[in-house]
Amino acid sequence: MTGRNEKIKSKMGKLIKNDFLASARVIPFFYLLLIAAMAAFLIGTKTNNNKLLAIGMAVSTVVSILLIFVTFFFVVYDFYKSLFTQQGYLSFSLPVTSRQLLGSKMIVYGLWMILSYVVFLGVIWYMSNYLQEDVIGEETMNTADVFLTMFNLPTKSQIIIYALYIIVFFFVLVLTFISMIYFSISASHMRAFQKANLVWAVVIFVALFILMTVAIELLEKAFVVNLIFYGDKNTPSIVFGYDNYAGTSFSLIPLIFFIVLNIVLFFLTADIMHKRINIK
């Protein structure tokens, strides 16, 4: 029995592979388009060809934005199509658990989604960097440095920790967004909502979003868990409850909440997929 269970666990890798193959039919095309546009932009900068530079810059920006929307479309479409249409007969009869089916899609589409945001931010950062150097000029950058020093803003180490926090928070936020979509689609295919499942999927998503916003508000009022930099210290402290500190801080409640919400939604969605869905 143990050997058989191990075989079932090893199927997770196969699921990820096949979900990746299914998703890799369209999405990479946009990355290739982006690479071509960026190449045009770089050639334009090197050869001082303003026309090529402008076209490369415009296409790169548009494609990087488009990439987010295309990825988002596939996040929703593939989940719906492979599990809740006739294709579900294939997916649900595989020798895997519903948690594995869901987990595989969360991993593959979570990574695609994060990649699309990272690429978008990278393109914007690169373009703005170019504009700063060549258009805004060195004087403006020096002025910004003076402002940073004048207002006693965080040190370099503090900024790195902030950045790390923001990256982690952002990844968790993307996964939460996907979890909410998958939960809404799955719940809308339960018998009670089956007749108008598209409408119900939207209603459930909006309701979940409102509940989530209210819950964060209430939790932030009820509990205080802050990451604080005391004075010039570069290592932050986690402080529970209010404290008379003199330093910069930010709340960890939203991050903790989103991690918990992700876990709860994952198990709820897998449970709905396992027990409450009857594919037509």
Give the footprint of another protein on this chain (CB under 8 A). Answer: 1, 4-5, 7-8, 11, 14, 17-18, 22, 25, 81-82, 86-90, 92-97, 191, 274-276, 278-279
d(CA 45, CA 29): 25
Nearest to 70 by CA among 137, 25, 123: 25
Q: Which is nearer to another protein, 28 or 122 (CB)?
A: 28
Q: CB 181 → another protein: shortest distance, Å?
A: 20
- Do residues 265 and 180 lie in contact, with contact meaning Cβ atoms separated by under 8 Å? yes
Residue whose CB is less far from another protein, 7 or 46:
7
Q: Closest distance between another protein and the C-beta of residue 194, in Å?
A: 10
Minimal distance in Å, beta carbon 270 to another protein? 12
* CB nearer another protein, residue 93 or residue 244: 93
Q: In the chain, what is the straight-line distance between the N-terminal and C-terminal CA atoms, in Å?
A: 33
For β-strands 247-251 and 237-240, DSSP reports them as unpaired
Shortest distance (Å) from residue 3 CB to another protein: 11
Q: In this complex, which beta carbon is closest to another protein, that of residue 77 or of residue 240?
A: 77
- In terms of CB distance, is 104 or 158 closer to another protein? 104
Asked if 20 and 108 touch (Cβ cutoff 8 Å), the reply is yes
Helix (H, G, I), strand (E, B) or coil at 240: strand
CB of 88 to another protein, least distance (A): 8
Q: In whole angstroms, how close is the CB of 7 to another protein at the nearest point?
A: 7
Distance CA 41, CA 3 (A): 55
Count of beta carbons in the 10 Å neighbourhood of residue 80: 21
CA distance 191 to 197: 9
Please identify, using beta-carbon distances, which residue of 268 and 274 lies nearer to another protein. 274
Cα–Cα separations (whole angstroms), residue 251 to 123, 168, 221, 223 = 29, 14, 11, 10
